[in-house]
């Protein structure tokens, strides 16, 4: 791969105004190219002699002209982020000085780095696993402290370790099976059916736990798209304002004033809600306002797409047809019924809870106008989305690719267990087991076949 042999450079800090801008250089010629454009303040110093983990002050040169002051940080292969020779050059922030520096580097033979190329090199040079490389992106993209903690646990290699444990258990089993099937003349102990199924079941449970934690983890890292629905005047805008902490939508006592979808991100406990306030849901009929009808159509569409639905009802009024229609559409979705205006409803709400309970997993009484019930809503959301049960320091899958590989592995194990329970031979189960291992190796980016073969000879010495 040609790109492995080139020396690359790129701006490592975000573009825009700031105190410092850092350009990273990585590759076999890092010291040579930087040596040509870096003039140390102390004339006796030379870039080529710089030891790893040291710094040097100087100026960079563009077409021979002395430019900005520049601090060079040196890393020697393999003790660097990419595993190659790396030099980080810091100049004054803003883009002008960094742009000049990049131009100077490219002039003397550096190639501009492609997206994620430093991390890709780190992966190819064995500095990190595939799951860690993915976690780098997640750490950068994470919002909120818990999301960052979650991504960091993958970066620390905890996810790789958690998957590694599953791999080891399955590999040992596979090695045993392979030895037993392929070397019948050797003294390989027979595998009891019970032990076989137990190992598969245990590892399947591990994978199930990882798969189940994925969506809650994604909610912590990226937030959840949330839609507020309810017929006009139930208090949706009031609730939105309560969540947002200031007057975002115009609240009026006249029905049908909220027509546009208002986007707003608010933090509710440890979850970020990407909120969509929608036009009040009600049947406008044929002679209804066309713009309002369009707003309502969009509301129903949002309901299909949202990761969380807050359906608002007026506790002081009996359920109308529009309310029932909304409740029905919420069935089976991640939806919470907010019974608003508890202050007007008094002790006995006019809304029969039993009816709502058939459609919603959670019902939260509130008085949005007076900020009553916000904690109960926070708890209900954390519980419904599973974030309450998730340990942010535990390893979790952190990309759709990882989820798909883990799911493939889990399904293959299920198949292996079923095959065995239905009386198929060990060789049939072994095929499923190999599929599961392949999926896990895809997950971590390793090569299954070689690893499995190694294991066979390591544990059983059948080749002798």
φ and ψ at 123, to 5 degrees? -65, -50
Please tell me whether residue 232 binds ligand GDP under the rule CB under 6 A: yes
Residues 6+ apart with CB under 8 A from 460: 175, 176, 179, 183, 186, 188
368 lies in the binding site for ligand GDP (CB under 6 A): yes
- Which of 187-195, 293-301, 364-372, 441-449 is the region at the interface with ligand GDP (rule: CB under 6 A)? 364-372
Least spacing, CB of residue 227 vs ligand GDP, in Å: 13
Phi and psi (nearest 5°) for 250?
-80, 120
User: Contacts for 1-6 with beta carbons within 8 Å, 24 or more apart?
Assistant: 1/124, 3/114, 3/117, 4/121, 4/124, 6/111
Under rule CB under 6 A, residue 390 binds ligand GDP = no
251 lies in the binding site for ligand GDP (CB under 6 A): yes
**Should residue 223 be labelled a site residue for ligand GDP when binding is judged by CB under 6 A?**
no
DSSP 360-390: -SEEEE-BGGGTBSHHHHHHHHHHHHTGGG-
Query: Is the link from the previous residue into 44 a cis peptide, with omega within 30 of 0?
Result: no
Q: Kindly tell me which of 224 and 367 has the beta carbon lying closer to ligand GDP.
A: 367
Degrees, nearest 5: CA angle 196-432-406? 100
* Backbone phi, psi, residue 215, to 5°: -65, -35
- Total residues contacting ligand GDP (rule CB under 6 A)? 20
Q: Which of residues 72-91 bind ligand GDP (CB under 6 A)?
A: none
Judged by CB under 6 A, does residue 350 bind ligand GDP? no
Binding range to ligand GDP, per CB under 6 A, among 139-147, 225-233, 392-400, 419-427: 225-233
**Local structure of 282: helix, strand or coil:** coil
278 is an interface residue for ligand GDP by CB under 6 A? no
* CA pair distance 440, 152, nearest whole angstrom: 21
Is residue 282 close enough to count as binding ligand GDP by CB under 6 A? no
Tokens of residue 125, six digits:
């040079």
Smallest distance from ligand GDP to CB 354, Å: 22
- Looking at 344, 374, 431, 451, which residue binds ligand GDP (CB under 6 A)? 344
- 132/238 with CB nearer ligand GDP: 238
**What is the sign, positive or negative, of the torsion defined by CA atoms of 24, 26, 31, 35?**
negative
Distances (CA, A) of 427 to 19, 69, 169, 180: 64, 68, 18, 10
Among 22, 82, 215, 233, binds ligand GDP (CB under 6 A): 233
Taking residue 447's Cβ as centre, other Cβ atoms within 10 Å add up to 9
341 makes contact with ligand GDP (CB under 6 A): yes
CB of 303 to ligand GDP, least distance (A): 15
- Would you say 16 or 253 has its CB closer to ligand GDP? 253
Q: Of 26, 237, 299, 438, which lies in the binding site for ligand GDP, with binding defined by CB under 6 A?
A: 237
Q: Give me the least distance between CB of 310 and ligand GDP, in Å please.
A: 11
Output phi, psi for 219, to 5 deg. -65, -45
234 binds ligand GDP (CB under 6 A): yes
Which residue number, 251 or 388, has a Cβ lying nearer to ligand GDP?
Answer: 251
Strands (E) across 63-133 are located at 65-75, 86-92, 111-112
CB 78 within 8 A of CB 125: yes
What is the token pair recorded at 176? 């045993």
Closest contact distance (angstroms) between CB of 293 and ligand GDP is 16
| CB nearer to ligand GDP: pick between 201 and 252 | 252
Selected binder of ligand GDP within 235, 295, 307, 392 (CB under 6 A): 235
When binding is defined by CB under 6 A, the residue of 253, 332, 354, 463 that contacts ligand GDP is: 253
284 part of the interface to ligand GDP, by CB under 6 A: no
Q: Pick the binder of ligand GDP from 35, 213, 217, 280 (CB under 6 A).
A: 280
Q: Which stretches of the chain bind ligand GDP, using CB under 6 A?
A: 230, 232-238, 251-253, 258, 280, 340-341, 343-344, 367-369
């Amino acid at each position: 791969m040609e790109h492995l042999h080139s020396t690359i450079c790129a701006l490592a800090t975000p573009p825009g105004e700031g105190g410092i801008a850092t350009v990273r250089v990585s590759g076999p010629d890092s010291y040579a190219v930087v040596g040509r454009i870096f003039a140390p303040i102390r004339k006796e110093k030379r870039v080529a002699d710089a030891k790893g983990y040291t710094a040097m002050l100087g100026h960079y040169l563009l077409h021979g002209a002395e430019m900005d002051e520049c601090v060079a940080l040196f890393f020697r292969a393999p003790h660097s982020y990419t595993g190659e020779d790396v030099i980080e050059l810091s100049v004054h922030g803003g883009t002008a000085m960094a742009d000049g520096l990049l131009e100077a580097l490219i002039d003397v033979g550096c190639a501009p780095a492609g997206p994620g190329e430093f991390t890709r090199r780190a992966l190819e040079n064995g500095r990190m696993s595939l799951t860690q490389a993915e976690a780098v992106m997640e750490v950068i993209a994470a919002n909120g402290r818990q999301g960052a903690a979650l991504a960091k646990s993958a970066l620390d290699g905890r996810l790789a370790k958690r998957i590694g444990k599953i791999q080891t258990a399955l590999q040992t089993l596979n090695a045993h099976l392979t030895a037993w099937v392929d070397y019948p003349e050797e003294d390989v102990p027979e595998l009891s059916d019970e032990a076989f199924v137990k190992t598969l079941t245990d590892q399947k449970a591990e994978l199930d736990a990882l798969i189940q934690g994925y969506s809650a983890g994604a909610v912590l890292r990226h937030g959840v798209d949330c839609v507020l629905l309810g017929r006009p005047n139930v208090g949706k805008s009031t609730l939105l304002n309560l969540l947002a902490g200031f007057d975002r939508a115009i609240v009026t006592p006249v029905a049908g004033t909220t027509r546009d979808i208002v986007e707003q991100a608010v933090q509710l406990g440890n979850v970020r809600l990407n909120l969509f306030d929608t036009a009040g849901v009600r049947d406008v009929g044929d002679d209804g306002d066309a713009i309002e009808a369009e707003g309502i159509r969009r509301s129903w569409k949002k309901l299909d797409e949202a990761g969380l639905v807050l359906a608002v009802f007026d506790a002081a009024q009996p359920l109308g047809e529009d309310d029932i229609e909304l409740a029905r559409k919420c069935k089976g979705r991640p939806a919470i019924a907010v019974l608003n205006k508890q202050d007007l409803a008094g002790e006995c709400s006019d809304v029969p809870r039993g009816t709502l309970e058939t459609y919603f997993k959670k019902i939260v009484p509130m008085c949005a106008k007076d900020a009553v019930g916000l904690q109960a809503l926070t708890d209900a959301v954390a519980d419904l989305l599973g974030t309450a049960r998730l340990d942010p320091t535990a390893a979790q899958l952190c990309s759709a690719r990882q989820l798909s590989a883990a799911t493939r592995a889990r399904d293959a194990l299920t198949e292996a267990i079923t095959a065995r329970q239905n009386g198929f031979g060990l060789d049939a189960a072994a095929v499923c087991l190999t599929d599961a291992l392949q999926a896990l190796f895809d997950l971590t980016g390793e090569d299954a076949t070689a690893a499995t073969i190694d294991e066979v000879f390591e544990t059983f010495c059948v080749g002798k």
